[in-house]
Structure 1
């Protein structure tokens, strides 16, 4: 008879960012464990709070399904000796399956007899199989771990309880010296230890102890409570999903409330107020119906509404202290001089192996000047870029950014405008930090994009030059993020700057105290980012073919990958690719010093292919380029039907190889077609 299975692991409070991924990992791991062990079920539900991770498996079979498997062994002539006795090969075969030679029977496969055995494994009771389920808990992985007491085993946080119920029955298991049972813990302050009666009663048992175990239910409670406050006070609350996810995983029993602060603090830049509330206090921002910031905030208490007035006062007091700091720094920073701050960056270390921030800015300025011409900036824009590159890190020495480092760049723009800097210069100062994440907002202005590109390029080249190269998952200086930012900016703005040409130019720069090195490693690192960004949408063979192209123009690489991916679903793809792949395979043998000479052609097919290749013009439209190349397929096939390339006459052979090479030189602007899979 099927029963529900409940597994709950009770821990000390986990960091909020760990809770949801750990819950999902546990659910997936339990599912795999049950499937691997042939235990059927109808569904798996997951639960989590800061102090627990749990799963409930519905309708778990009472025993494993039986397993019957047939295994093919050695051929009969190997399995039996001349006397018809089983050889060591046959004995080893059955021993590996836990059987004897008596289980062997011979079956004919494609005209030859082979030894076969059939193994039948009856299913074990579910309760017996579940004795091993703690291995799933042991193998969970976390971004950070710790050990406690005399334990040498590391885990995300100390473990206090383990509840494993099969229906109403508590299973006797052990994990990290914790014996399982049916005891769980309620809310830290409002609840107490509680007995879980059965897998079906889990949520209700905990609800009586002020714990909402279902994360989705807890989230909906928060949203509903915020909506109620909106209606009550005629306000609009920004429910930022990332903030909601964090708050959700900080509380077990949520109660939303609204607090306030003095209207005078609204004179501080909005970004400071929002950062203080969202990033530092985990408060939701409150606006009026027109979107204007109000002197209020919404927070969520981990508990019920009892003594809520005291909670509101305490939160208001903490926030005011933050806002006082913000007001002070806003006032005092305006007394500072941008030139003085920029000059002091020579005393701030960028990295001890690389030099100061001022030196980093000087290299960035050189790179930006080079990129300005490539990006087609006007003389005025180039002058604005030069100014921005001379000061763009100055706000790191302001009090505001020292207190609220999330505002770097944002405050740089505001202070630059207050100091009378050009708006384009101020905007570039803010945008040079973009994108701040894998899918983050990109710079919108050309100046900001060029400055961001230059800053990220020097960061990447500098750290690689001193050997600080990411390995495995270790990337303390966020160089993968910088590389992805470079790729995304070049793609978004469509700048036709080949990566190899770009790096070759930058590596020719000389600086007083620094020299770039490891160019090949940087190029491969950037191309690895390109491939990773393609991976979700582009098959592996197409990625590899495009990355092997000769242009290394990032926008064209993405466009070519998209065009090939789409074309692979249509008719004629296989034929056209195989024709071009044949050209690529032979063209590798061409003498690079030879150019095709029509005087050496011996048939019309050579001449026709030569004319088509000569007329072939590939532009910026990848789909159109691919169409032009695929249109050559009949000419290529006719060429090979009528022409032997590898003839004895050396001049004729080299001429034909040179013709094929001329085609691949152009086709590589799209991809190396020899790497495409048409099977």
Structure 2
């Protein structure tokens, strides 16, 4: 008879940022284990709160599914001797499968005969397998782990109880000296120890004891409460999705409330108020018609008992934090940009890359060079923005509220008399803050953002700080993605390789040690981020390699070429052309002298002459199309050479016995190959027309 299974891990309060991923792991690992163990079930659903991770599996079968397997043994010539008797190899194989030589049958694979036996594997009882759930629980990973007491297990927080039920029976196992049982706990302050009669009672039992175990239902309850407060009070609560997800993972039973603060604090920049509320206290700001009100909305972990006392306590905490912010703001305004700039000379950016002042000087060079390369008219503003781009890091406000770096830079720069373009660029040069976050809106901000990120990436990789696995303490992947997105957004005709080369030269000129492999490492690194972005645009892996492996070049043009090739890959009309172009590239490795130019005087046949003339005739137009980033037209020019290419190959011996003729023909092949490779390495594409 099918039974339900419940597994719950009871913990000290988990950090909110770990919970969603941990819950997903519990469910994914459970489903994978059930499938691997051949255990039938009707459904599996996960739960999570700050104090628990759980999974409920419904209608779990009593036994594994029994299977019949075919086991392959040694080749027949090894399994039998010259007299036709079974050898020790055959006997050992059958014995290992729980069979005898009488069970052997023979099958032929690619002309060779092998011995086989069939074995029946009877399914075990599920109840006997369920203790293996211990391995699933112990395999859950977190962003940061700890050990407690004398335990060897590393986990995000100490395990305090374990529930493991198969129907109404406890599944026996033990982790970190905690044994499984049918006991759980409701809300820490509003309930106590609870007995679970059967798995299906779990969610309702917790709900009756002030725990909403379903995370999405908790979030829905918060949203409903926020909507009610908006309607009741006639204001708006701008809900940040990340903050909402965090708050739902901070509480087990949410109750929203409205608090207030003194009107005088509204004189602070809006960003300071919102950061104080959202980032530090996990409150939602309150607006009316786009204007911030002296109010906030918090979410209590519990019911509405003595809610007024809770509100007063939260107001007191926020008042103290805003008073600090007000003090820092006024103190910072008494100083100057030069004062903060001088302090940067004594703050290390990275031990091998010098101080923040050293970094700013490098960024200024890179930004000015980029502005010159792009013939921008904002050179003066770009240089000034680069020069003071980090001054706000030394302010009291940013020291207290690190999330406001750049934001306060813009505010203070404007206060101290800098232009709007310069002030805005100081904020924008930190953008994007996430891989797909907001990009700089101004030219000055975009240039400064690229320059700052290039210095960080090239500097770190040059001194060996290359991201590996999930380790990327300087956020280099995000910053490289940001550079590529800005280049694409601005449609700037600057190659990634030229940015790398110039940045490395700035580092070298500054007297920093640059690893010999830095250039190659940076090209590979940016190539991987370009591949990430192209995959986001549904470009297939083979086309990505064809576009990025040789040289990334101008990124927005690389993206255009990738999309053109994605269409051509499945276009039957392009089959003749791609076969011709790939035919040329396949002979490129036969070219020994890459510098040798083809000599028209050595041409012997009409088809050879036609090929020679056709390649020469398209070169200038092809170069013009590449220069104009006209990806469709450039590829079409190459495609139009198809008939001449096929005729050249079909009517001439490329590898002619005459060395001069052979070398001349290979030089013609090389010339066209270089043109094709400027577009993409078409050899790396799995052309669908061949399927």
Preserved contact between residue 598 and residue 668 of structure 2 (Cα < 8 Å): yes
Residues 1:311 and 1:661: Cα distance change in structure 2 (over 3 Å): same
Tell me the residue number matched to 2:21: 21
| Matching of residues 607-622 of structure 1 within 5 Å | 607-616=609-618, 617=622, 618-619=625-626, 620-622=629-631
In structure 2, runs of 5+ residues without a counterpart are none
Question: Mean Cα displacement is larger for which, 564-573 or 442-451?
Answer: 564-573
SS at match of 1:368: helix
Question: Post-superposition shift, 1:520?
Answer: 2.3
Residues 1:550 and 1:107: Cα distance change in structure 2 (over 3 Å): closer
Tell me the residue number matched to 1:480: 477
Tell me the residue number matched to 1:623: 632
Preserved contact between residue 353 and residue 512 of structure 2 (Cα < 8 Å): yes
| Matching of residues 183-262 of structure 1 within 5 Å | 183-262=183-262
Distance in 1 of aligned mates of 2:352 and 2:565 = 44
Aligned residues: 676
Question: Post-superposition shift, 1:335?
Answer: 1.5
Tell me the residue number matched to 1:301: 300
| Matching of residues 80-479 of structure 1 within 5 Å | 80-108=80-108, 113-288=113-288, 290-378=289-377, 381-479=378-476
Preserved contact between residue 434 and residue 440 of structure 1 (Cα < 8 Å): yes
Residues 1:657 and 1:269: Cα distance change in structure 2 (over 3 Å): same
1:671 and 2:680 aligned? yes
1:552 and 2:549 aligned? no
Preserved contact between residue 454 and residue 503 of structure 2 (Cα < 8 Å): no
SS at match of 2:259: strand
Tell me the residue number matched to 1:564: 565
Tell me the residue number matched to 1:527: 527
TM (norm. structure 1) is 0.96
Distance in 1 of aligned mates of 2:154 and 2:61 = 33
Residues 1:468 and 1:171: Cα distance change in structure 2 (over 3 Å): closer
Question: Post-superposition shift, 1:96?
Answer: 4.5
Preserved contact between residue 366 and residue 502 of structure 2 (Cα < 8 Å): no
Question: Post-superposition shift, 1:606?
Answer: 2.5
Residues 1:636 and 1:94: Cα distance change in structure 2 (over 3 Å): farther
1:541 and 2:542 aligned? yes
Distance in 2 of aligned mates of 1:426 and 1:205 = 56
SS at match of 1:286: strand
SS at match of 2:586: helix
2:607 aligned residue (590, 605, 608):
605
Question: Post-superposition shift, 1:112?
Answer: 5.3
1:595 and 2:597 aligned? yes
- Aligned CA RMSD, in angstroms, stands at 1.9
Question: Mean Cα displacement is larger for which, 121-130 or 67-76?
Answer: 67-76
1:514 and 2:515 aligned? no
Deviations along 1:127-180, one digit per CA (max 9) or x if unpaired, are 112121211111111111111111111112111111122223332232232221
Residues 1:625 and 1:42: Cα distance change in structure 2 (over 3 Å): farther
Question: Mean Cα displacement is larger for which, 266-275 or 506-515?
Answer: 506-515
Preserved contact between residue 11 and residue 159 of structure 2 (Cα < 8 Å): yes
Preserved contact between residue 550 and residue 668 of structure 1 (Cα < 8 Å): no
Residues 1:550 and 1:275: Cα distance change in structure 2 (over 3 Å): closer
Question: Post-superposition shift, 1:575?
Answer: 4.5
Question: Post-superposition shift, 1:98?
Answer: 4.2
Distance in 1 of aligned mates of 2:636 and 2:91 = 61
Preserved contact between residue 167 and residue 199 of structure 2 (Cα < 8 Å): yes
Question: Post-superposition shift, 1:514?
Answer: 3.0
Tell me the residue number matched to 1:586: 587
Distance in 2 of aligned mates of 1:97 and 1:626 = 59
In structure 1, runs of 5+ residues without a counterpart are none
Preserved contact between residue 588 and residue 661 of structure 1 (Cα < 8 Å): no
Deviations along 1:171-203, one digit per CA (max 9) or x if unpaired, are 223223222121001111111010111111111
SS at match of 1:236: coil
Question: Post-superposition shift, 1:319?
Answer: 0.7
SS at match of 2:54: strand
Distance in 1 of aligned mates of 2:544 and 2:95 = 46
Question: Post-superposition shift, 1:513?
Answer: 4.4
Question: Mean Cα displacement is larger for which, 491-500 or 224-233?
Answer: 491-500
Preserved contact between residue 183 and residue 193 of structure 2 (Cα < 8 Å): yes
Tell me the residue number matched to 1:6: 6
Distance in 2 of aligned mates of 1:239 and 1:219 = 12
Residues 1:629 and 1:340: Cα distance change in structure 2 (over 3 Å): same
Question: Post-superposition shift, 1:628?
Answer: 3.3
Preserved contact between residue 9 and residue 163 of structure 2 (Cα < 8 Å): yes
Deviations along 1:637-663, one digit per CA (max 9) or x if unpaired, are 222111211101222222221222222
Question: Mean Cα displacement is larger for which, 347-356 or 110-119?
Answer: 110-119
Question: Post-superposition shift, 1:524?
Answer: 2.1
1:636 and 2:645 aligned? yes
Residues 1:576 and 1:162: Cα distance change in structure 2 (over 3 Å): farther
Question: Mean Cα displacement is larger for which, 360-369 or 326-335?
Answer: 326-335
Question: Mean Cα displacement is larger for which, 632-641 or 228-237?
Answer: 632-641
Residues 1:549 and 1:514: Cα distance change in structure 2 (over 3 Å): closer
Question: Post-superposition shift, 1:388?
Answer: 1.0
Preserved contact between residue 488 and residue 555 of structure 2 (Cα < 8 Å): yes
Preserved contact between residue 461 and residue 516 of structure 1 (Cα < 8 Å): no
Deviations along 1:24-55, one digit per CA (max 9) or x if unpaired, are 11100000000000011222111000110111
TM (norm. structure 2) is 0.94
Distance in 2 of aligned mates of 1:633 and 1:454 = 43
